Each structure stands twice: as C-alpha cells, then as structure tokens.
Amino acid sequence: KAIVTDKAPSLGSAFRKLQSVGLYTKTDHRTVKYLNNLIEQDHRPIKRRNKFYQSLRTASSTIKGMETIRGIYKKNRRNGTLFGFSVSTEIKVLMGITA
C-alpha cells in the first residue's frame, strides 16, 4: 500500500510522525507529482489565490463553506462513504459540531 501526496515538506514530516507512533507502518509514502493524487486534485479550485479576501479569518470561513458545498455535491460522497468517512460526519467536522 502507498499514500501519494505532493512534495510539500510538511506532508512527509507528518507521515513520518504517524509512522513513529505505530500507524501506517506497512505503508509507503510516495511524493510523485501528479501520480494519482486524488486528494490534492480535489482541493485544486479552492487553493488558487484570491485577492478578495480581507483577512485570514474571512478566507478561512469562505473556504470552509466552499468545502462543505463541494462535499455535499461531490458524486463519490453522495453515494456513501469515502475512505470510511460519512457525509454527515464530514459536514459536522467542517462546521465545528461535535459528532
């Protein structure tokens, strides 16, 4: 098994930290650009720069709302669970509601 992410240094560090506590011990971490990286590609439209945000707080609130709407209308989330997460749980987490 392998997890594919982009080459951001924080992702490699986080993965090594998870392995040091005993998680994902039999999983490889691949940092190949554009290699079936569905998680990073999913957030591409939201990651682009937007000059209309007045502060980090408004940007954060707007992006949370955009992610919630995208999560509701995304086909594979509408059909059930994705990697063990349900739609209702994802929305509750995004909105800060305790599950």
Same domain, 61 and 17: no
pLDDT of residue 8: 77
Same domain, 36 and 54: no
**Interval 27-80: pLDDT, tens:** 888 887 666 555 555 555 555 556 666 777 877 787 788 777 777 666 555 555
Count of domains in the chain?
2
Same domain, 95 and 62: yes
Q: Within a 13 Å sphere around the CA of 37, how many CA atoms are in the beta-carbon half?
A: 16
Higher pLDDT, 15 or 80: 15
Same domain, 69 and 97: yes
Q: Is pLDDT of 21 > 60?
A: yes
- Taking the CA atoms of 57, 90, 79 and 48 in sequence, report the sign of the dihedral they define: positive
pLDDT of residue 29: 87
pLDDT of residue 25: 87
Cβ neighbours for 3, distance < 8 A, ≥ 6 positions apart: 15, 24, 27, 28, 29, 30
Same domain, 68 and 37: no
What distance in Å separates the CA atoms of residue 95 and residue 85, rounded to the nearest whole number? 15
Residue 76 belongs to domain spanning:
50-99
